[in-house]
Structure 1
Amino acid sequence: MNDAVKHSDVEVNGVRLHLAEQGEGPLVLLLHGFPESWYSWRHQFAPLAAAGYRVVAPDQRGYARSEQPESVDAYSLLHLVGDVTALIGALGAEQAVVVGHDWGAPVAWATAALRPDLVRGVAGLSVPPLPSGPSPLAQSRERFGEGFYQNYFQEPGRADAELAADPKSSFRRVLGGTHPDGEPKPWVVPDGMKLLDTVPEPERLPDWLTEEDIEAFAADYARHGARAFTGGLNWYRNIDRNHELMAAFAGRRIEAPALYVTGEQDLVNAMVTPEVVAYLLRQLTPRLHAHVRLPGTGHWTQQERPAEVNAALLDFLASLD
């Protein structure tokens, strides 16, 4: 077994992706969310590799050490699924277990739905599989107002500049400034305020996050300069376009064995209630292995509760073997 995380680059679909990798055996792909990177999975590499798996976590297109295509249109869900399918082949594998957190979860779910030949198991953290429906941005605007963060992100350059002005502060605020406390609430920017005004810099980081972690995230993002966060924000700028592009696959079920893990205080619960999540899992994942809800846990699932997440993943992987 490889006993350290190795780093390399690979080109897929004309985009250079950075990879972090450890272990040998069946392939497990770990897909991060926003605003994160391969480093979000730092607690998963060694346990999964020790159990006999080849663990690979890419910086997805537009993020951290990976290449950042210029066009907003280059970040549709079909592009992202294409990256995963090409990556499986580039790694010399016929199939993979695909695990995604936050934005990585829709990519994982969609890959499993569209390419069941390549996915022998799929796990989503934080974000459940979602059905097609009316314009997602119009729905969120109606429910939460124009300041809802996904709508706020639509204006090119605005959130980009705010987040890139001081990446270390941005990561402290976004990752460390949203402690689970009571009922989860949607992230809304009141009129006249800026994005980071809503998440003051914490006096101290939560126990699961260190200054070294903040340094690691910020260093990887810094190589893109003023566009440090633009690639990830462009994923949000394709939300309605994804709805149009995926219309042909509306209602398609995920036939691969599946796992869903979420925190009880995750802000996603304010957008999709636990009752709706349970219904969606019944309808869309007929081979659901487990639905795990972690108390006292917010949005950064695998970073906040690595032991519990690793146990759930290893149990799921063992069921596939």
Structure 2
Amino acid sequence: MTEVQHRIIETNGIRMHIAEQGTGPLIVLCHGFPESWYSWRHQLSALAASGFHAVAPDMRGYGHSDRPEAIDRYTLLHLVGDMVGLLDALGEETSVIAGHDWGAPVAWHAALLRPDRFRAVIGLSVPYRPRGPVRPTTVMPQTDDARFYQLYFQEPGVAEAEFERDVRLTMRHLLYSGSGDSPRPDSTPSTPAPVGMVPRRGGFLSHMREPSPLPSWLMEADIDFYAQEFERTGFTGGLNWYRNIDRNWELLAPFVGARVNVPALYVAGDRDLVVAFRGMDELIANLSQFVPGLQRTLLLSGCGHWTQQERPEEVNAVMIEFLRGL
């Protein structure tokens, strides 16, 4: 079996770094925030060994891919366009596309908008969410004391200053605190702990915990890799994805009511904070209404947000089963 290979391709007006392994039917792996192609390191080899050509790009704004300066060049249409251009650069007519965290909306919308190119979709952590009736940021929770983290990310420079103060510590805290190994805030059925809220007197990292020791799935070498990447690039590219949430809502107006009709798989951890967001339980329970081709929903017990990194063997097995069944 070949080792992971790295190269730069041209796609949709940018230069994009990709990591790839194996030969056979193509599967594209889209990472989330704040990650890189490296978040799929366990899947590349497993998929290659199972007869697939696995390709994990550094998404627009990350790693060794281009990081356009203009905020409005990070819309979902740009990101889906990057994936279409990736297929063109590889000389492939079609592909299966998978995405985790922010990569999941890219994957879902690639399958929604271009089912001619993306013949099946795998979403990790974030389910497909149909376009709502109102501008997203207007309904995000906020109080006098705190606001939803996606609102905190809106103003350029604010989150960057916090995250870039000590990049290695940021990555340690984010990776551990979002995992299934981190203790959750105390809550009761009558007074649930707020999920995803950032205190106005403090920052995103203010309530995050220091891992001691690291959980078994996370090595110091993994933190070293992420820290080196974001020390070099900063966090602006990834944060700009959040700064287009309302713009995406505007651009997707023609697709109100559209459904994802290609075969689909959804996988998440039952301790993923995304799953605990307001309304997410109902959305996941009714996902097949919006994704008629949904073949399976799998919730991994005890798994947190970093799905494919925390539970690589289980994620690899269910992905390969899904791919072979196509």
Q: Give the TM-score normalised by structure 1.
A: 0.94
1:164 aligns with 2:164: yes
Task: Pick one of 227, 232, 235 that aligns with 1:229.
Answer: 235
Paired residues of 1:146 and 1:152 also in contact (CA < 8 A): no
Specify the alignment match of 2:6 in structure 1. 7
Deviation at 1:275, TM superposition (A): 3.0
Q: C-alpha separation between the residues in 2 aligned to 1:62 and 1:114?
A: 22
Q: C-alpha separation between the residues in 2 aligned to 1:304 and 1:247?
A: 36
| Matched residue type, 1:63 | Y
- Give the secondary structure class of the aligned counterpart of 2:199: coil
Deviation at 1:142, TM superposition (A): 5.2
Specify the alignment match of 1:35 in structure 2. 34
Paired residues of 1:177 and 1:205 also in contact (CA < 8 A): no
1:217 aligns with 2:242: no
Q: C-alpha separation between the residues in 1 aligned to 2:87 and 2:104?
A: 17
- Give the secondary structure class of the aligned counterpart of 2:110: helix
The 5-angstrom pairing of residues 86-165 of structure 1 reads 86-133=85-132, 134-141=134-141, 147-165=147-165
Gaps of 5+ in 2: 188-192
**What do residues 129-180 of structure 1 show as CA deviations (whole Å, max 9, x unaligned)?**
0011112111113589752110000011010111122211111010113343
More helix by share: 1
**What do residues 222-245 of structure 1 show as CA deviations (whole Å, max 9, x unaligned)?**
322xxx100000000000110111
Task: Select between 47-56 and 141-150 the one with higher mean Cα deviation.
Answer: 141-150
Specify the alignment match of 1:283 in structure 2. 289
1:274 aligns with 2:281: yes
Paired residues of 2:178 and 2:306 also in contact (CA < 8 A): no
Q: C-alpha separation between the residues in 2 aligned to 1:20 and 1:276?
A: 33
Q: Give the TM-score normalised by structure 2.
A: 0.93
Paired residues of 2:178 and 2:272 also in contact (CA < 8 A): no
Task: Select between 197-206 and 207-216 the one with higher mean Cα deviation.
Answer: 197-206
Specify the alignment match of 1:207 in structure 2. 216
Task: Select between 196-205 and 55-64 the one with higher mean Cα deviation.
Answer: 196-205
1:64 aligns with 2:73: no
Alpha-carbon spacing, 1:223–1:290, altered in 2? closer, same or farther (3 Å): same
**What do residues 65-123 of structure 1 show as CA deviations (whole Å, max 9, x unaligned)?**
21110000000010000001110111111100000000000000000000010011100
| Matched residue type, 1:91 | L
Q: C-alpha separation between the residues in 1 aligned to 2:259 and 2:213?
A: 43
Deviation at 1:201, TM superposition (A): 2.8
Specify the alignment match of 1:258 in structure 2. 264
Alpha-carbon spacing, 1:212–1:70, altered in 2? closer, same or farther (3 Å): same
| Matched residue type, 2:283 | V
Specify the alignment match of 1:178 in structure 2. 178
Alpha-carbon spacing, 1:295–1:222, altered in 2? closer, same or farther (3 Å): same
| Matched residue type, 1:158 | V
| Matched residue type, 2:268 | T
Q: C-alpha separation between the residues in 2 aligned to 1:202 and 1:155?
A: 29
| Matched residue type, 1:135 | R
**What do residues 33-82 of structure 1 show as CA deviations (whole Å, max 9, x unaligned)?**
00000000011011100110000000000012211100000000100000
**Paired residues, number:** 315
- Give the secondary structure class of the aligned counterpart of 1:289: strand
- Give the secondary structure class of the aligned counterpart of 1:275: helix
Task: Pick one of 153, 176, 196 that aligns with 1:187.
Answer: 196
- Give the secondary structure class of the aligned counterpart of 1:220: helix
- Give the secondary structure class of the aligned counterpart of 1:270: coil
Paired residues of 2:20 and 2:55 also in contact (CA < 8 A): yes
Paired residues of 1:65 and 1:221 also in contact (CA < 8 A): no
**What do residues 175-218 of structure 1 show as CA deviations (whole Å, max 9, x unaligned)?**
11334345885221112112221213323222111110001111
Gaps of 5+ in 1: none
Q: C-alpha separation between the residues in 1 aligned to 2:141 and 2:177?
A: 24
Identity of aligned residues (%): 53
**What do residues 253-280 of structure 1 show as CA deviations (whole Å, max 9, x unaligned)?**
111100000100111122143232121x
- Give the secondary structure class of the aligned counterpart of 2:198: coil
